[in-house]
Structure 1
Amino acid sequence: MDQLSYSTAWLSRWRDEITDAVSSLVLTFEETNGYEPGTNEVRLAGKEDSRAVRDGGRELEGFEDLLTFYESIGEVVLPDVGNGFFVHSPCDVLHRLTEEGPVSLPEADDPHGMVIASNGGGILYVADRGGAIHRSGTASLDGAEFDKAADNLPQFLDHVRRCVVRFVETGETGDL
C-alpha cells in the first residue's frame, strides 16, 4: 500500500483490497459459521457525509488525514471480521464528540481526541490532532488508558487492511 502517498487514490486502492478480501470471506461464511453474514462494506462517502464534514468545521481542524478519508469513505462496517470492526461515519464521530466531548489523551501531543473507530468488543480507536491513532485498553472510556496504535491514519488503515486480509486467510485478526 505504500507505493502511493496517502490520497483519494490510495484510499480507493485500500477500499478495493478490503472489499476483495471480504468478498471471498462472505462466499463461504454461512457454510462455515452456520448463519448468514451481515453487511460487510467500505461505504463510499455520500452527501450526508460531506455535509457532516462541512458542518463539523472547527471540530475537524487539524485532522487533515481524517478529512481526506471522509472525502472518499463514508464508513467501514465489517461485523464479520473477527468480532467486528467499524470506522464510524463523520456524522457519528461528530455526534459523539458533541454529546460526550473530546477524549482525554494525556500522553498525546494534543490531549483531546475523538473516537473514530471501534471493534465489536468495545475497544475504541481515537484520533488526536497530531495525527496519531490511539487504542483503548478497555471497552469503556471511563478511566480508559490508551496506547498509540499508529503514528497516523494511513498507517492505521494499512494495519486494518492487513488484519482483514489475515483474518480471511487464517481466521486470526491480530490486534484489531
Structure 2
Amino acid sequence: TGQVAKQFSGHAAAVYGLAFQADSKQLVSASADGSARLWNVDSGAEVRQFVVPVAPTDETESPKPVAPCLAVATQGNLIATANSDGGVYLWNAANGQLAKTLETLDGAVYRVAFNADATKLLAVGHTGRIVIRNIADGKPLLDASAPAVAYDGRFTADRSRLAIAGADGNVHLLDVPAAAR
C-alpha cells in the first residue's frame, strides 16, 4: 500500500545505513549521532545500542561521531560499523559488546561488507583505498587503490571479484587474490 507501517525512533541525527538480520526479524540502523541500533521489526522496540567510538580531537575541533555505514554478517552474529576516522568496529550482535576494532582506512569509510561466510571484511571510502581484512586476526589480505573515491563495494557470490562504485562515474571490477576470498 505504500503506507508507513512502523517508525523506529531513537537516533538523534540522520540515519545513513540500514541492514536486516538474515531472518528479517531484526533491523540495524547506523546514524550520524554515532550510534547503531538493533530494532525488533515486529514490536518496533530497540533491542540494543552500539555506540561507535569517536576519534580523539583537539579542543578546537568538535567530535565527529558519524556512523555512515554498516553491515550484518549473514549468520547474524556480527555487525560491522564504521565512522569518519577510518576505523571499522565489529560488534557481537547477541550482547552488544565491541568485539574488535580494525584500523582500516585513512579517511571516512563509505561501505563495509562481509564476504559470504563472514570471515573477511571489505572497507572502501574517501581515500579510494580498498581493504579486505581477515576478521579472525585483523590482518590485511588486500590493500589496493581505486582510481577515485570509492562509494560502495561488494563481493561477487564466489568471492573472486569485487565491484567498486567510484566517484569517477565508473564501476571497477577487481580480481580478489585467493587468500582474500
Shorter-chain TM-score bucket reads: 0.3 to 0.5
Q: Which has the higher contact order (CA 8 A, sep 6+)?
A: 1
Normalising by structure 2, what TM-score?
0.34
Instruction: Decide which structure has greater strand share.
Output: 2
